[in-house]
Amino acid sequence: MKQDEEQEILTDNIREMANMQRLQLLFAEQRTSLAVLRTGIAIFTLPLSVLTVLIATSKFYEIREIIHFLIPTVVILIGLIALAIWMIYRAWKTIMRIRHIIDRLKARDECLKEFLD
């Protein structure tokens, strides 16, 4: 009888440790996704800043004279905006997926629910 109780306690401890390790892995992945989100937002601000400078200084140049510089610049800026939107979307999608997995783990384990709420 005592050996069965010890085995049950050991099994519960192993299960709790495994759940904690899963949480650590999920939180590490979430931190990575938050870093990608932050980078996407930073990349998104660069084209907006460049466009603001181009618009603010537009009275100092004629568009017809610099069109050969303006077209590649706008293409690069559009590319940067597309990259930023993709990074933000992927990071947000990953963060939501991780939160869903954490919620499922909390629903299954009462100890985790107390720990995370």
For residue 47, how many other CB atoms are within 10 A of its CB? Answer: 20
CA 73 to CA 51: how far, in whole Å? 9
Residue with tokens 């892995």: 25
**Average pLDDT over all residues of the chain:** 90
For residue 36, the enclosing domain spans 2-116
Q: How many domains does the chain have?
A: 1
Q: How confident is the model at residue 16 (pLDDT cuts 50, 70, 90)?
A: confident
CA 107 to CA 53: how far, in whole Å? 51
**Per-residue pLDDT tens over the stretch 31-59:** 999 999 999 999 999 999 999 998 899 88
φ, ψ at 61 (rounded to 5°): -150, 160
Compare 40 and 115 and report the one with higher pLDDT: 40
CA 57 to CA 30: how far, in whole Å? 41
Contact indicator for 59, 5 with CB cutoff of 8 Å: no
Whether the predicted model's global pTM rises above the 0.85 cut: no
Given a cut of 70, is residue 1 above it in pLDDT? no
